[in-house]
């Protein structure tokens, strides 16, 4: 073999091995038999990957350390799926993949929780890159000019329309004009559920409109299902999966009821909890989870929406809520949202893992 042929052959082998190494770096969980969402929380001293104090834009209600939370062990847990390792999160790889792209999170304050987590993960991964943060109406935009990437948040508690008619708030389960603002994005991440449960003074509507009739109220799970069906029809009719990736952020569990993790003290909540649950939790049995899965599975375009099935793994983290160290630093007991750094970082790590290990995601 002549020198020139040898050089070409060696160069081919070198770049083949290099590309294989780089691919494997982001594909350690490529095995289709591995379930990202079944596993356990492992204590890891290398966590967390950032501090909330590094991200001035994080809402005060999520900054548990900044609000005086004394225990810090909850920051050091890493999600370990059974049978595989998640690819290591790389902010540099994320922005490179989505250079010039627009990503939108659509939903309630749990979407805010996840969106702020991702913006902080990227910001701290790219300390030399500038960013801008702007809000117009209900839409917030985190923009990284070096990569021309926009991460946007549209606050929308129900996805379907909530209209004001004669000073009354009417939740319209079959109307989704909101969807016009979701067009043209490269990735959409939806979420809704918690506001469907609010009652009394916290209820966000005065009436519900469905099937040509107006009701003062109705079974919340039925209303949720009908609203989601309207959303799914909009996705089927308006989204081209070859252009836009669509995800649904699974139902985020709360920890107001200690019976869910076999707490011995009646009335136990997340207040004072400092350790994850060891063993199974019942969060994955929430009826709303089955509604979400049923609606997604019955969509016309099969596979157009991918579920981030974070319910059960999040249900194990009774220690991850702001509790008395949220709500603007005021004393309270928030067992619904999550501290940052914290559990939503894992949601985004899972989202990233799906993006880098699945061609069809």
Please check the confidence at residue 247 and state whether its pLDDT lies above 80. yes
337 given a catalytic annotation: yes
Spatial distance between the Cα atoms of 218 and 296, rounded to a whole number of angstroms: 23
Is residue 11 in a domain?
no
State the chain's mean pLDDT as an integer. 88
CB 244 within 8 A of CB 187: yes
What pTM does this model have? 0.89
Radius of gyration of the chain (CA): 22
361 given a catalytic annotation: no
Task: State the pLDDT at residue 266.
Answer: 65
When pLDDT is cut at 50, 70 and 90, the band that residue 208 belongs to is very high
Task: State the pLDDT at residue 93.
Answer: 96
Is residue 18 in a domain?
no
Which one is catalytic: 26, 109, 252, 321? 109
Residue 331: CB partners within 8 Å, gap ≥ 6?
Answer: 324
User: What CATH number is given to the structural domain containing 172?
Assistant: 3.40.50.1110
Count of the separate structural domains present in the chain: 1
Please check the confidence at residue 30 and state whether its pLDDT lies above 80. no
Which one is catalytic: 194, 321, 337, 349? 337
**Sign of the Cα pseudo-torsion (291, 292, 293, 298, in order):** positive
For the segment 319-351, what is each residue's pLDDT rounded down to a tens digit?
A: 999 999 997 666 789 999 999 999 999 999 999
Is residue 16 in a domain?
no
Residue 141: CB partners within 8 Å, gap ≥ 6?
Answer: 132, 133, 134, 135, 150, 151, 152, 153
DSSP character for 323? B
Which one is catalytic: 93, 108, 319, 334? 334
Is residue 27 in a domain?
no
Is residue 28 in a domain?
no
Spatial distance between the Cα atoms of 360 and 242, rounded to a whole number of angstroms: 9
Which residue do the tokens 């994005």 mark?
Answer: 185
When pLDDT is cut at 50, 70 and 90, the band that residue 263 belongs to is low
Domain of 212? 39-357
Task: State the pLDDT at residue 22.
Answer: 39
Is residue 246 in a domain?
yes
Is residue 336 in a domain?
yes
321 given a catalytic annotation: no
């Amino acid at each position: 073999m002549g020198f020139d042929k040898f050089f070409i052959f060696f160069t081919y082998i070198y770049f083949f091995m290099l590309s294989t190494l780089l691919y494997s770096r982001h594909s350690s969980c490529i095995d289709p038999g591995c379930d990202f969402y079944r596993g356990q929380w492992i204590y890891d001293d290398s966590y967390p990957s950032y501090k909330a104090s590094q991200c001035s834009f994080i809402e005060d209600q999520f900054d548990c350390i900044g609000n005086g939370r004394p225990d810090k062990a909850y920051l050091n847990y890493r999600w370990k799926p059974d049978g595989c390792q998640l690819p290591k999160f790389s902010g540099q790889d994320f922005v490179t993949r989505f250079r010039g792209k627009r990503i939108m999170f659509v939903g309630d304050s749990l979407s805010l929780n996840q969106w702020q987590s991702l913006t902080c993960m990227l910001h701290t991964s790219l300390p030399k890159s500038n960013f801008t943060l702007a809000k117009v109406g209900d839409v917030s935009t985190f923009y990284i000019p070096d990569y021309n990437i926009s991460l946007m948040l549209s606050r929308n508690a129900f996805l379907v329309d909530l209209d004001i008619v004669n000073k009354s708030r009417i939740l319209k389960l079959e109307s989704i004009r909101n969807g016009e603002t979701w067009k043209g994005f490269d990735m959409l991440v939806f979420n809704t559920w918690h506001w469907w449960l609010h009652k009394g003074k916290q209820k966000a509507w005065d009436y519900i409109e469905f099937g040509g009739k107006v009701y003062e109220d109705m079974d919340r799970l039925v209303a949720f299902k009908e609203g989601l069906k309207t959303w799914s029809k909009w996705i089927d009719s308006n989204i081209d999966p070859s252009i836009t990736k669509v995800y649904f952020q699974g139902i985020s569990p709360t920890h107001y009821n200690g019976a869910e993790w076999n707490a011995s003290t009646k009335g136990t909540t997340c207040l004072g909890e400092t350790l994850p649950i060891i063993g199974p939790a019942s969060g994955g049995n929430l009826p709303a989870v089955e509604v979400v899965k049923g609606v997604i599975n019955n969509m016309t375009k099969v596979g157009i929406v991918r579920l981030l099935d974070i319910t059960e793994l999040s249900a194990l983290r009774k220690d991850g809520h702001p509790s008395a160290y949220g709500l603007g630093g005021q004393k309270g007991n928030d067992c619904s949202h999550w501290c940052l750094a914290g559990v939503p970082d894992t949601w985004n790590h899972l989202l990233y893992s799906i993006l880098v290990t699945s061609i069809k995601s």
